[in-house]
Amino acid sequence: MLLLHPAMYRLVLVCMAALMLAGCSRVGKILKSSDYDYKLKKGDEFFAKKKYTQAQTIYEDVFPVMKGTPKFENLYYNWAYCFYNSRDFVSAENTFKGFVENFPNSSRAEECEFMRAYCYYKQSPNVELDQTPSMKAITYLQTFIMQHPNSYRNKEAYEIIDKLRAKIEDKEYRSANLYYNLGLYKAAGTAFSELINNHPDSKLADSYKLKAIKSWYEYAKNSIDIRKEERFEKVLNECADFVDRFPDSELVGDVERIKNLASNNLKEIRNEQDKAST
């Protein structure tokens, strides 16, 4: 990393501030004009130079006047990309949505539909956080694919969906595993079961099922005596379901060991019940 002398660093900051002020000054002069075609032209020039903040400011000034004119569509389109290129993905999503609603027959409508979904993808947070934007992105991308089955953008849409599903799956796994590590076995068993149901085609589905079985076993083992019998029976049912679903899994041996443990526990419980009844 290049380290600047403090004096040079201050000079750089001063120059940056001067450039920003100069840019604001130029925009201010443009906004004072009463010629809206001139303003729009200048906005487009800023946009072409990737000065999106300045372009956005001018577009928003001329927006009411240009509405309903032949120039409005291109203005709206550029305005959406000002937000997008400034990384304001919430405003960009809403603006792309507005473009489609205002210009449903435009040659750019399909692109803007895709970009609306893509903006949700860009909002997708780290795996530890709430994945609502990821789920919305999947929904809108699936809708896009259904409405545009021949679009060349569908390849990218499918790739994004797969990536987001993997992130959501990882998020759900971490939550389920946290329950298990905290000893909250009922919650863990439920969470791992839901994980399998939500991602039945996952390559890790058999490992999730095994973790669910382990959770139910620990839950049964730590239950009060009156509840143990029914809960060990549930473990046996889960083991049988594993073999039905994943007969060729390398984890079948682990499942058999838990099955034997649960069966032995049940035998002991029933032997005690027989003794008590005689």
> What mean pLDDT is predicted for residues 79-83?
98
- Give DSSP secondary structure letters for 37-76: HHHHHHHHHHHHTT-HHHHHHHHHHHHHHHTTSTTHHHHH
Position 67, amino acid: K
CA gap 262, 226 in Å, rounded: 16
Output the pLDDT for position 278. Answer: 65
Q: How many residues does the chain have?
A: 278
Answer yes or no: is pLDDT of 8 > 50. no
In this predicted model, what pLDDT tens digit does every residue of 235-250 receive, in sequence order? 999 999 999 999 999 9
CA gap 99, 30 in Å, rounded: 26
CATH architecture of the domain with range 182-278: Alpha Horseshoe (1.25)
Output the pLDDT for position 136. Answer: 96
Domain locations along the chain: 38-86, 100-168, 182-278
